[in-house]
Amino acid sequence: MRPGPFCLGYVLGALTVLLLGVGMGGLALTLAPFFSPRPVPTPVVRAASPATPTPTVASPPPAWSATPSPAPAPGGVFTPAQIVERVAPAVVQLVVGNSSGTGMVLDTAGNVLTNAHVVARATMVTVRLANGRTLSGRVVARDEDRDLAIVRVSGQALPTVRLGDSTTLRPGDDVFAIGYALNLPGEPSVSRGLVSGVREGQRTDLVYIQTDAAVNPGNSGGPLVNSRGEVVGIVTARITSDAGRLVQGVTLAIAISSARPTIDRLVSAR
């Protein structure tokens, strides 16, 4: 299996080159996996003897909807610790062979949202919860062009994330990336950053959030969360170089509002 830009799975090159204006000139940056013809390789970290998934029979899921919003703290925002406390239990690690990435539980039917390049061509994956439990998950649908996929875990009442409105984001807003970076044991890693900009995709109808929140191999498919503890993006790629020059602090996440139609369609798959 070929490693991905910061998922430890096979990276599907599905989009094209994104031009980001920097300073007074135009700078063409290499973006993997969905804008680069040559994805930047990252090391494959072997999972510690993941359990072999066994097929499960999924019952038809109910119509998907976001988890109802809890009452916000004074001022409508939470502390970073409160945000992690609310979101992390619904963030899972997805293990596919010797590679791993991140996903988020959408609903009580056990639908887990992730990137398509995290699951690659697999039909079954191992789902590791924040508390260390492992479950078998079935890949029920994927959209490779938009780099989105749904993994379903049957018969489990799992904590769920709450989706927000990414159209309200502004440059300078705080965001948090939560995921299983570098396949480190234990709880997911958390990094904080700012919204650097919002970018239009050139080959799909998706919108991408640019942030300087630090991500690493294994973060792909994880949530980008706002200060209200709502998921506003799906961490997808990191720009690492431009014409051989090192690039730092440029991470892209699929904006959740632009992804909602695709998510709805994938969740409805049987």
Least confident of 52-66, 82-96, 109-123, 149-163: 52-66
* Mean pLDDT within 151-168: 92
Residues 110 and 97 in one domain: yes
Checking if the pLDDT of 11 tops 80, the result is no
Q: Greater confidence, 4 or 210?
A: 210
Average pLDDT, the chain: 78
Residue 254, token pair as written in the block = 């699929």
Q: Which domain holds residue 121?
A: 78-160+263-267
Whether 148 and 224 map to the same domain: the answer is no
Query: Which residues, 6+ apart, have CB-to-CB distance to 237 below 8 Å?
Result: 5, 6, 31, 32, 33, 34, 35, 220, 251, 252
Taking the alpha carbons of 204, 102, 167, 265 in that order, is the dihedral positive or negative?
positive
Domain membership flag for residue 55:
no
Cα 136-140-141 angle, rounded to 5 deg: 140
Residues 121 and 179 in one domain: no
Q: How many domains does the chain have?
A: 2
Greatest mean pLDDT among 18-22, 92-96, 246-250 lies in: 92-96
Structure tokens at 15: 């989009």
The model's pLDDT over 101-117, given as tens digits with 9 standing for 90+, comes to: 999 999 999 999 999 99
Residue 24 pLDDT > 60: no
Q: Which residue has the higher pLDDT, 37 or 105?
A: 105
Residues 133 and 152 in one domain: yes
Say whether both 117 and 191 belong to one domain. Answer: no
Looking at the structure, tell me whether residues 132 and 204 fall in a common domain.
no
- Tell me whether residue 42 is in a domain: no
What are 198-254's pLDDT values in tens digits? 998 877 889 999 999 999 999 999 999 999 999 999 999 988 877 788 878 889 999
Active site residues: 117, 147, 220
Asked, for residue 7, whether it belongs to a domain, the answer is no
pLDDT cut 70: percent of the chain above it: 72
Q: What is the CATH number of the domain that holds 93?
A: 2.40.10.10
Q: Please indicate, yes or no, if residue 65 is contained in any of the structural domains.
A: no
